[in-house]
Amino acid sequence: MGLTSASTLFDCFHSPTRGLLAKEDVFSHIEQTISTLSGPFEIIVGADSQLKSRGTFFALVITVIRAGHGGTFFYHKFQERRYASLQQRIFQEAMYAVGLASEVREYLRERNHDTPIQLHFDIGKNGPTRKFIQSLLSLAETNHFRAEIKPNSFCASTIADKFTK
C-alpha cells in the first residue's frame, strides 16, 4: 500500500458485507439506514495507527449500531510517513477522526438528520497515552462531539486496531 495524499484520504471505504464503496455511497447507506429503520442509532467514528518500519499505518472506522439489533462498519486504511512520536501519531489519529465525523455530521444534517456522532479515541488511563486524555477530550468537545476512551472506545481500540496490523 502506497502513501495517500490528503485529498484522497477519505475517498473510498471497505465494508465487510458490501465490499469497496465510495465515501458518498457509505454516507448514503448510513442516511438510508437511519431513515428507514426505527432507532435509536449510534454512529461512532474511531481511528487507530500502527508504527512500522515502512511508515505509519492508519485505519479510520465508521460504525453504525442499532441498539438491540447489531450494526455495521466501514473502514479506510492508508499509510503515511513515519510518525516517530507517539504524541504526533495519537493527535493525527484524533484529527482524522474529527474530520471524518464532521463530514458525516454535515452530510446527515444536509438531509435533515441530527443523529449524534460519537468519537472513540485509542487512549486510556493506563499507559503512555494517559497524558493526552484531557487534550483529546477537549478537542472532541470543541468540535461538539462526545468521546470515549479505553476501555469504552471499541471502535478505535478493537475495530480500527484490527485493520492497522
Average pLDDT over residues 29-36: 96
pLDDT in tens, 38-54: 879 999 999 999 999 99
pLDDT value at 126 more than 90: yes
pLDDT in tens, 52-107: 999 999 999 999 999 899 999 999 999 999 998 999 999 999 999 999 999 999 99
What DSSP assignment string belongs to 27-55?
HHHHHHHHHHS-S-EEEEEEEEEEEETTE
> Please, what is the Cα angle at 51 between 46 and 52, to 5 degrees?
135
pLDDT value at 10 more than 90: no
Nearest Cα residue to 75 out of 131, 126, 16: 16
Distance CA 43, CA 63 (A): 6
Average pLDDT over residues 20-37: 96
Q: How would residue 119 be classed by pLDDT, with cut points 50, 70 and 90?
A: very high
Give me the CATH topology for the region 12-162.
Answer: Nucleotidyltransferase; domain 5 (3.30.420)
For the chain, domain boundaries: 12-162
